[in-house]
Amino acid sequence: MGVHKLLPAVGPRRGRRLGRILRAALSFRLWLSLLALLCLFSFALFGLKFITLVGRGGGMESGISSSHQLPITGNVKKNSKEVEQQQLQHSGFGGVVIKAPGSKKRIQHFPCEIGFTETVDYLIEPKDLGNFTQFSLQYAAMEEKPLGVNSFESRFGGHQKLEEREKSFYAHDQTLHCGFVKGPPGFPSTGFDFDEKDMAYMSTCRVAVSSCIFGSSDFLRRPTSKRISDFSKKNVCFVMFVDEQTLSKLASDGHVLDNRGFVGLWRVVVVRNLPYKDMRRTGKVPKFLSHRIFPSSRYSIWLDSKMRLNADPLLIIEYFLWRTRSEYAISNHYARHCVWEEVLQNKRLNKYNETAIDEQFNFYKSDGLRKFDPSDPNTPLPSCTCA
Ligand SMILES: *[C@@H]1O[C@H](CO)[C@@H](O)[C@H](O)[C@H]1NC(C)=O
Ligand SMILES: *[C@@H]1O[C@H](CO)[C@@H](O)[C@H](O)[C@H]1NC(C)=O
């Protein structure tokens, strides 16, 4: 535990910039309550399909307030934020094609342009990304069997009490349940196990792009290599989490791992002993807990497996986090903007037990979730209206 020092905010030289990103090792975690909330992935059985982008403890590491400005060389379009999610194309076909229910008419969603900086060469990580409360988090690593209880079952998510959950929403120093909870000695692994060499690799990552395919539910989409700078290829970890079933499917699809365990830019990491029977639920582990899986990471980008990474991760980070001094960015869905709609859609597509969906939805509502109001000028989810 300790406050680490950043290098002085200087010059556009590549070496310096590299240092600023790579030397910023995080030895402790400072999180907004929103992120703590995300740790409660076990409640999130379903969700909007999204790309998430998280800066870890951005700007809080030294407590220095600075008015350092980013040198933005790109062509910024005023409304480009409205169309952010489309840059990461939904499919390999140059756009999204969905069928309106009960009709033959197809609605097409094309990718929109985003005012990314042109190259990664002059990026500088800003010193103060925001103005967030400083606090540190610890994670429950192991749970003892309660005295006098016979039928104790250790669980990946642990046994968090509702009151503990409530408290975890507030930004203060605390120890919380955030997955990877082990049972007492003698109990079986609670799951999501990695090979040692993969763990060693992931512990080195400062910037991580990750995605997952479990249960052969999808095919592998490789990042668009020509859009990704050599710098990012060298310094960003691209990790695709799969289970063994998906691994053998990948091979039969012609995605053969090289001797370092890579398929193109993806380093394929096999997860053993999946903690949940439901693959969608297991997929929430890497999606929400990348800070546990990449413990030294400063930034991470989560990609839904339906997405192909079509832009340089550092340009994405600069655009969505640094430029706006944000700690977290989340893409809007191309069609649905509200949990209310998502609930209906999940039921319509029979994605999950309806009673369980309703229970969870009621839980969210009792937590204060309100319906998305597109006419609200402070709406946190601008919708994409590109033609
Ligand atoms: C940071 O927070 C302080 C105290 O809440 C406030 O006075 C200040 O204006 C904030 N600065 C920025 C840049 O938001
Ligand atoms: C659906 O969920 C409810 C509530 O969680 C549960 O009681 C019920 O057994 C589930 N039904 C099925 C078919 O899994």
Residue with CA at minimum distance from ligand 2 atom 2: 356
Angle formed at CA 352 by CA 181 and CA 248, multiple of 5 degrees: 65
Whole-number Å distance, alpha carbon 80 to ligand 2 midpoint, is 43
In the prediction, which pLDDT does 157 show? Answer: 96
Per the DSSP assignment, residues forming a β-bridge with 208 are 237, 300
User: Token digits for 326?
Assistant: 């944000």
DSSP one-letter code for 265: T
Q: Which ligand is nearest to the CA of 131?
A: 1
- Return the domain boundaries, the chain: 137-322, 336-387
219: nearest Cα among 266, 165, 149, 168: 266
- Residue with the smallest CA separation from ligand 2 atom 13 is 353
Separation of CA 320 and ligand 1 centre (Å): 20
Residue nearest to atom 14 of ligand 2 (CA): 353
The Cα 106–Cα 52 span in angstroms is: 27
Nearest residue by C-alpha to atom 4 in ligand 2: 356
Q: Which of 353, 357, 361, 363 to mutate to test the pocket of ligand 2 (most atoms within 8 A of CB)?
A: 353
Q: CA 4 to CA 161: how far, in whole Å?
A: 33
Position in ligand 2 atom list of the atom nearest CA 353: 1
* Weakly modelled stretches of the chain, pLDDT under 50: 1-50, 57-98, 383-387
- Measure 323 CA to ligand 1 centroid, in angstroms: 17
Count of beta carbons in the 10 Å neighbourhood of residue 255: 17
**What does the angle CA 100 – CA 351 – CA 287 come to, to the nearest 5 degrees?**
100
Q: Which two tokens stand for residue 226?
A: 């020509």
What's the whole-model pTM score?
0.73
How far apart CA 311 and CA 300 sit, in angstroms, is 14
Of the listed ligands, the closest to the CA of 360 is: 2
pLDDT at 104: 56
Pocket of ligand 2 (CB under 6 A): 353, 355-356, 359
pLDDT at 372: 81
> Which of 278, 346, 355 most suits a substitution to test ligand 2, by most atoms within 8 Å of the C-beta?
355
Q: Give residue 71's pLDDT.
A: 27
How many contiguous H segments (helices) and E segments (strands) does the chain have? 12, 11
CB under 8 Å to 14, separation ≥6 — which residues? 121, 231
CA 353 to centroid of ligand 2, rounded, Å: 6
Cα 336 off chain centre by: 19
Distances (CA, A) of 190 to 162, 186, 201: 21, 12, 22
pLDDT of residue 83: 32
Bridge partner list, 266: 263
List CB contacts of 81: < 8 A, sequence separation 6 or more: 382
Nearest ligand, CA 356:
2
pLDDT in tens, 114-136: 899 999 999 988 887 566 778 89
For residue 352, the CA-to-ligand 2 centroid distance in Å is 10
Query: Which of 180, 126, 140, 124 minimizes the C-alpha distance to 156?
Result: 180
Residue 100: the pLDDT is: 53
Residues of the chain with pLDDT > 70, as a percent, come to 69
**pLDDT tens digits, residue range 17-32?**
444 444 333 322 333 3
What's the CA gap between 179 and 190, in Å, rounded?
A: 9
pLDDT for position 121: 94
pLDDT at residue number 375? 81
